[in-house]
Amino acid sequence: MDLDSINASRLLMKYMPLIHKTMNRLNISKKHMLYDDFIQEFQIKLIQLYRSFDGDPINNEADSFKFTAYAGRGLYWRGIDLIRNKSLTSCEPVDDEKLEMLTQEKNITSNVLESNYIIQDFYRKAKEKLSTEDYLLFLYLSDSDYTIQQIAETFGVSRGTIYKRKKKIQSKLEDLKEYLMN
């Protein structure tokens, strides 16, 4: 690792409480669907602020206090920008017409919805149990042509968020497992 990477790691460890304080200030709790995305955005912003700061907040205590104030403002305004631009809130409700358009556009139906009656019935029951957006995510996850990274980019969220939502979908569909076994 080079010195810049080491400093970035040390900076993130030292100032992670500032990131959490900023998240709290913006009312973004751990239950927020995009919590991990905001954390990642704030970590990137913190490193950018460190590089533009005149001083050494990692090793110099006086610079550390100045940097805390500087970074606190910078992180807060980055959060405000993210919320205003809704660049991380692309997970809006999807109506049936939009769902159909998206599935046709991405050719999901050709690979996912097979002609087997049991599979089709399973997908129908899954659609009843899941919200429209969760069902769309379920279709993407069911299609082996898409990687988690591609799905995350399509939904405008992090891979970690996709994994969390995948677990929630799995728990919602737990009782349908037996249906497939018959």
- CA 86-87-93 angle, to 5 degrees, is 60
Would residue 128 count as lying in a domain? Answer: yes
pTM: 0.48
One domain for residues 107 and 79: no
Q: Which token pair is 77?
A: 């305004």
Domain boundary among the residues 27, 58, 85 is at 85
pLDDT for 73: 93
Would residue 62 count as lying in a domain? Answer: yes
Domain boundary among the residues 65, 85, 105 is at 85
Q: How far apart are CA 53 and CA 176, in angstroms?
A: 55
Q: What is the pLDDT along the chain (182 residues), one digit of tens a residue?
A: 577 788 888 888 899 999 999 998 888 888 777 788 889 999 999 999 998 999 888 888 889 899 999 999 999 999 888 887 754 444 445 555 655 655 555 554 444 444 456 677 777 888 888 888 888 888 888 877 788 888 888 888 888 999 999 999 989 888 887 766 65
> Quick one: three-class SS letters along the chain?
CCHHHHHHHHHHHHHHHHHHHHHHHCCCCCCCCCHHHHHHHHHHHHHHHHHHCCCCCCCCHHHHHHHHHHHHHHHHHHHHHHHHHCCCCCCCCCCHHHHHHHHHHCCHHHHHCCCCHHHHHHHHHHHHHCCHHHHHHHHHHHCCCCCHHHHHHHHCCCHHHHHHHHHHHHHHCHHHHHHHHC
Would residue 91 count as lying in a domain? Answer: no
Count Cβ neighbours within 10 Å for each residue of 145-175 and write b for 16 or more, e otherwise: ebeeeebbebbebbeebbeebbeebeeebee
One domain for residues 41 and 111: no
Q: Which token pair is 173?
A: 């569909």
Q: Which token pair is 35?
A: 């919590």
Domain boundary among the residues 85, 105, 130 is at 85
Q: How many domains, the chain?
A: 2
Q: Which amino acid is at 44?
A: I
pLDDT for 110: 47
One domain for residues 70 and 147: no
Q: Give the CA radius of gyration of the chain.
A: 21
One domain for residues 126 and 166: yes
One domain for residues 109 and 35: no
**Residue 111, domain extent:** 96-181
One domain for residues 124 and 143: yes
pLDDT for 66: 92
pLDDT for 180: 61
Would residue 47 count as lying in a domain? Answer: yes
One domain for residues 57 and 106: no
One domain for residues 54 and 73: yes
One domain for residues 173 and 105: yes
